[in-house]
Each structure stands twice: as structure tokens, then as C-alpha cells.
Amino acid sequence: MGYRNLQDCVEDLERHGMLRRIDTPVDPCLEAGMIQRRVYQAGGPALLFTRVTGSAFPMLGNLFGTLERTRFIFRDTLRTIDTLVKLKINPFLALKEPARLLGAPLGALHLLPKTVSADQAPSLSCRTTLSRLPQLVSWPKDGGAFITLPQVYSEDPARPGFGKSNLGMYRVQISGNQYQPDKQAGLHYQIHRGIGVHHQEAIKRGERLKVNVFAGGAPSMSVAAVMPLPEGMPELSFAGLLGGHRIAMARVPGCLPVPAEADFCIVGSIDPHATLPEGPFGDHLGYYSLTHPFPFIEVEAVYHRPDAIWPFTTVGRPPQEDTSFGAFIHELTGDLIPAVLPGIKAVHAVDAAGVHPLLLAIGTERYTPYDGVTRPLELLTQANAVLGQGQLSLAKYLLIAAEQDNPELDIHDIGAMFRHLLERVDWRRDLHFQTATTIDTLDYSGGGFNSGSKLVVAAAGPVRRCLLTELPGDIPVPSGWSDPALALPGVLVLQGSAPVPDNGEPDQAIQALCSFWEQRALPDGIVLVVIADDSAFCSRSLDNFLWVTFTRSNPAADIYGVGAATRQRHWGCSGPLVIDARRKPFHAPPLEEDSAVEKRIEELASAGGPLYGLF
């Protein structure tokens, strides 16, 4: 049955050749993170750094670095979870395949945590301080050291207990900025996170919010902390289900409970009204999230088990280790989508675009079955439902197609999805904007914190056009624009100079470009034009195209069109759609490696070096 702690997991992975010990000294400031990212890109093993500069605790990285290893870690419980998920979808499965349900009742017993005394909890055996923890700094401009695999635990102040608890993975800054050393830690949680409900209740009651931060323990705890669970299901319950055992929680007088098998437990509380600057931090969109005021934890104690291991990850431009998290979560929950969102057959948050900037969906058109599928109808209702569902609501671009148009369409074949949509879309009709709304906290394309716009593109009906697959040599381009390239069938990328500082007005140069193409039309089959700083880079790969286009554009401000017009307050265009995906002056800076550290890591990885063969 599943691992009860991180030590059992490490031992098992090493026994199966899935973990490598690194016994040479490694600095947690920049070096450990760069090594982990390199090994992840190479599809390498989990890494145990045994000699960490400035800390007595070993560090474990790349634990979930491949989907295969993640499946291996939870191999004992995946069948039970699959059974329970299918029961949720089809209660009659019990009658059709009763043999598959034999393990389900036992698995369900693991949903309920159990309480143990403090003297039965290895996690409470020893004490330390924040400054003695590994000071992980992932990127050169990070504002300090961060916990990157934290499990932040809180309970509803009005209804204490695990039943209304929340376990979320919200980054925690343990040094730098204005934080008092060893006494304060920044708590960065984004919009639409469960802890926000508890925080609001604490403000309402005028009391401090108790918060614990766990690191390590059963690997199922880390996965549970990032699971998009339905409201009312505590993450601790899912951790027990995935881990194959009830999660043992120990009581600490005057504090929230802590997992008995955790490696580290930071115990404290937050003033419901106080904030301090947090960040910057190199984040998973491939840019820094900047410094902003966030709540902070007043640290009362830092506990650890005697054999504690510090787990960590680093994030950056996808794909990274959190990509494996996302793929694993989709495997566990993807079949539930039709039950949660009627009519929706599948959704795909595109990792290469930073997850929230681009969401693909396949729905069904059932409004007028007597008339066939000729245009989006029910798809629009379904799109609204998607944008009202949990973290799917953070999507900035939602592209939705009708299943009836191609029942074999695979939502994970992104190139095929774009081809399908661009063959059918009518830009005069199929663009639906939300112009002043909330977007992902980490997305700065809107020019404000947590603010920007959204665009739904709903395409249904018969094929309207053939897409251009080879670029002719005579693309009409006016002065100031250069290097046209084809990123995908029907998608032209054009290079333009850096945009002028944004003043809230449309870019006159792009408007002039659209007017030019009204007079000298682009070749048939070009449906979408992306303006980029570097057209060769943007068009070099599908991942580059997705990252540039959807992380660097704000729909309401950066979308133009050839033959644009507004009718009954509905904007559209008769010619190609144009997206300005150049970097803007207010955008967050992209992540870049430290060249000196890069050189040292290359030396360690050379023949005979301690990292040789890892990447």
C-alpha cells in the first residue's frame, strides 16, 4: 500500500533505479534549481542532494519529474481511484462489473484522517528555524528563498475541523524583502483559492487566521494540495485515498493539527488585515511574478522529523515538473468533466501556453438537432459554464469546438484543434469578449494585477475554407514589418518593432497594417496573423507559438482585424484576425539563467563529474 512518508518513497525509488544521490556540495541558491530543471528536461531520475550548502537538511528534487514515475509512486491506489471516479460517472457500473469494485469500500475508508497524539508524530520530534532550512532561490531575480512544494493548511474559523479544511500549494517566501528573519514568511495565494474563503471569514470575525505549512510527508499530500477538488471534499481526504492509508494528524495545543509523518511543519497565524511585499518570483508562465503586497505568516515554531528531507521543485517556462503534475491530475479527473459540465466532452488547459492563458474544449450542439450543426449555439452556453467552473474560470482564451463536426477530434492534438477551428471560424460572428474582468494572478498581459480580459472563440458547422500550408514569396507587407513565417496551417507570424508605451489606445501601426491588407489582400487561407518580436522564434515550434501568442496578449487590447466592424456592440472582422503578441513595456520580464551558474553546472556534468550522464 502507498508510502506513508517521504523516506519510504525515496528508499523505494532508489531501489528501483529511479533516484540518484548527489553527494557533491550543491548550493540551493540557483544551482539546485538549475540542475533540477536540466534533469527534468532530460527525463531523468529523482535527485537527492545530500550536501546542501548552508543547511543540514538534504533536498529532494524532480520527484514527480516524469509521468511514469508519478504513476509508479501511486501504483497501489490508481485502480481504486479509477473505480470511484467511474462510479461517480456511472452508478450502474457496480451491476456491470462487480469484480472491479472489490477494493473500493476499503479505499473509501482512507478518506477520513485519524488523530494521533503528539508523541506519536515524528514530525514534531525536533525544532529548527526558517534560516536553517535550505534557502532555495530558483531564478536570479527572485526576491529571496521560497518553499516551492508547500502544503498550506487552514480551517474555516466559523466551522473548525478537517471537514471544512483547505490544503493548498501556495508559495511561501522565507527570506528577503521586509520579512523579519525567522519570524515572518510571505504567503502568496492567487485568486480563486480555498484559503481565501477562510481568510475572509477571519476578517469578518476580527481574528487571526491560523495557518500551518507542511513540507514532505506522504507524496499524496503534495498531489492533494494541487488537486482541483469539488467544494466540500477536503484535500486531506483525497490524500488518504491516493496514499492508500488514513492521514495521521497530530494535535498541537493552541494550533491547527499537523501531519504526523510530515518532514517539516511551520506553525503560525496571519493578521487578517496585514500585508508585506512578496516576490518577485520566477513563475510557471515563463516570466517573473512581480512584487505585490500579500499576507504573511507570523511563525510560532518550525518542527521537523529527525530524518527530514526537504522536497522542492522549480518552475519556469513550460514544460517543467509541474507539467507532470498537470498530466497526472488530468488522468485522475478527466473523465469527470462531462459530469461536472453537461455537454462538455473534454477540456485541455494548454501547458505550453502557461496553462491558464489558453483553454481548449470540445462540446456538443444539441439545441437544434433537426437543423444540423451550422453555427455555435449550445457551445456558447457551455463556454459560459466552463468560465464559471473553479480554476477553469481563470482561462484567458477559450477555444471551443463542436463534437459533431468531427467525433474523432483529439483535444490533446493541439495542431489538429487549431486546424479544425480555423477551417470553420467566422471572425464576424464567433468572437465573444469579456473586456474588464479577472484573469490569472501571474498573467501581466492585462497591464494590471489580477485584471485583464477574456475571449471565447466558438466554432461550429461545416468547413468554410482551406488553410494555407506553404507560404508564398510575395506576402504583401508594408514598411516596418518583416520576416513573415508560417507557424501552423493558416497562421502567419509577422515580425514588428517593439510597441510604443501603452496609453490604452489601439496601436496605430497595426491598424494601418490591417488597412493595408484591406487594399492588398493576404493570400487565401491565412486566417490568423500573430505579430511577434521575433517571428523566427515564434514559428520555430508549436510550443514557441503557443507561449508567445497567449502569454503576451490581452484579448481586449491586443486583437485587431482586417475589415473590422462593430455591429450591435459585437466586434468582428471579415478578414484575418490579428493578435499583437509583442512584449509590452508593462509586461513582467522573462526568465533567464545565470551564465556563471550555468557554466559551473556544465562543468559538474562533464565526463567524470558528479552530474555526468544526468543531462
The SS3 of residue 303 is strand
* pLDDT, mean over the chain: 92
CA distances from 211 to 127, 219, 255, 294 (A): 18, 21, 8, 14
Write out pLDDT tens, residues 415-448.
Answer: 999 999 999 999 999 999 999 898 888 899 998 8
Q: Is the pLDDT of residue 192 over 50?
A: yes
pLDDT for res 94: 47
pLDDT for res 95: 45
- Buried b or exposed e, range 180-197, using 16+ CB within 10 angstroms: eeeebbbbbbbeebbbee
Give the span between the Cα atoms of 313 and 221, in whole angstroms: 15
Give the span between the Cα atoms of 531 and 476, in whole angstroms: 15
Residues 6+ apart with CB under 8 A from 301: 127, 265, 266, 267, 268
- Asked, as a colleague might, if the bond just before 319 is cis with ω within 30 of 0, I would say yes
Banded pLDDT at 179 (limits 50, 70, 90): very high
C-beta pairs of 536-545 under 8 Å, 24+ apart in sequence: 536/483, 536/485, 536/495, 538/485, 538/487, 538/493, 538/581, 539/485, 539/486, 539/487, 539/493, 542/352, 542/414, 542/415, 542/487, 542/488, 543/318, 543/352, 545/487, 545/488, 545/491, 545/493
Better pLDDT: 336 or 52: 52
Where helices occur in 175-320 by DSSP H, the ranges are 195-205, 219-226, 235-243
Give the span between the Cα atoms of 129 and 302, in whole angstroms: 6
Using a 10 angstrom Cβ sphere, with 0-12 exposed, 13-18 middle and 19 or more buried, the burial of residue 516 is middle
pLDDT for res 79: 84
Write out pLDDT tens, residues 147-178.
Answer: 999 999 999 999 999 888 999 999 999 999 99
**In 10 A of CB 484, how many CB atoms?**
20
Q: What are phi and psi of 236, to 5 degrees?
A: -60, -35
Share of the chain above pLDDT 70, in %: 95
Do 481-580 and 321-459 have the same topology in CATH? yes
CB 302 within 8 A of CB 127: yes
Q: Is the pLDDT of residue 70 over 70?
A: yes
- Buried b or exposed e, range 149-177, using 16+ CB within 10 angstroms: bbbbbbbbbeeeebebbbbbbbbbbbbbb
Write out pLDDT tens, residues 597-610.
Answer: 999 999 999 999 99
Amino acid letter, 457:
V
Share of the chain above pLDDT 90, in %: 79
Spatial strand order in the sheet of 481-488:
481-488, 491-496, 528-532, 577-580, 559-561
Of the chain, the end-to-end C-alpha distance in Å amounts to: 33
C-beta pairs of 228-231 under 8 Å, 24+ apart in sequence: 228/329, 228/333, 228/390, 228/391, 230/340
Ordered by start, the domain boundaries in the chain are 6-312, 321-459, 481-580
Give the span between the Cα atoms of 321 and 331, in whole angstroms: 16
Write out pLDDT tens, residues 525-541.
Answer: 999 999 999 999 999 99
- Under DSSP, the state recorded for 157 is T
Which fold, 321-459? UbiD C-terminal domain-like (3.40.1670)
Q: Is the pLDDT of residue 101 over 70?
A: no
Give the span between the Cα atoms of 99 and 220, in whole angstroms: 26
**In 10 A of CB 39, how many CB atoms?**
23
Write out pLDDT tens, residues 480-502.
Answer: 999 999 999 999 999 998 877 66
The mean per-residue pLDDT over the stretch 406-410 comes to: 96
13-22, 158-167, 254-263, 598-607: which range is least confident on average?
158-167
CB 397 within 8 A of CB 360: no
Q: Is the pLDDT of residue 8 over 60?
A: yes
Q: If residue 564 lies in a helix (H) or strand (E), which one and from where to where?
A: strand 564-567
pLDDT for res 110: 84
Give the span between the Cα atoms of 531 and 497, in whole angstroms: 9
Pick the closest to residue 445 from 615, 287, 604 (CA basis). 287
Write out pLDDT tens, residues 576-594.
Answer: 999 999 999 999 999 999 9
pLDDT for res 497: 87
CA distances from 324 to 62, 120, 313, 330, 334 (A): 10, 34, 12, 10, 15
Please give the biggest Cα pair distance in the chain. Answer: 80
Between CA 344 and CA 352, with CA 348 as vertex, the angle to 5 degrees is 165
Using a 10 angstrom Cβ sphere, with 0-12 exposed, 13-18 middle and 19 or more buried, the burial of residue 204 is exposed
Where helices occur in 119-247 by DSSP H, the ranges are 195-205, 219-226, 235-243
Pick the closest to residue 576 from 557, 591, 563 (CA basis). 563
pLDDT for res 104: 56
The mean per-residue pLDDT over the stretch 90-95 comes to: 48
Pick the closest to residue 154 from 225, 211, 193 (CA basis). 211
Q: Is the pLDDT of residue 89 over 70?
A: no
Residues 6+ apart with CB under 8 A from 499: 507, 580, 582, 584, 585
pLDDT for res 108: 66
Banded pLDDT at 346 (limits 50, 70, 90): very high
pLDDT for res 97: 56
Helices first, then strands: H and E counts in the chain? 18, 32
Q: Is the pLDDT of residue 5 over 60?
A: yes
Give the span between the Cα atoms of 192 and 196, in whole angstroms: 7
Which fold, 6-312? Pnp Oxidase; Chain A (2.30.110)
Residues 6+ apart with CB under 8 A from 195: 152, 154, 166, 168, 170, 189, 211
CATH entry 3.40.1670 includes domain 481-580: yes
Give the span between the Cα atoms of 561 and 551, in whole angstroms: 19
- Under DSSP, the state recorded for 156 is -
pLDDT for res 512: 95
Give the span between the Cα atoms of 200 and 195, in whole angstroms: 9
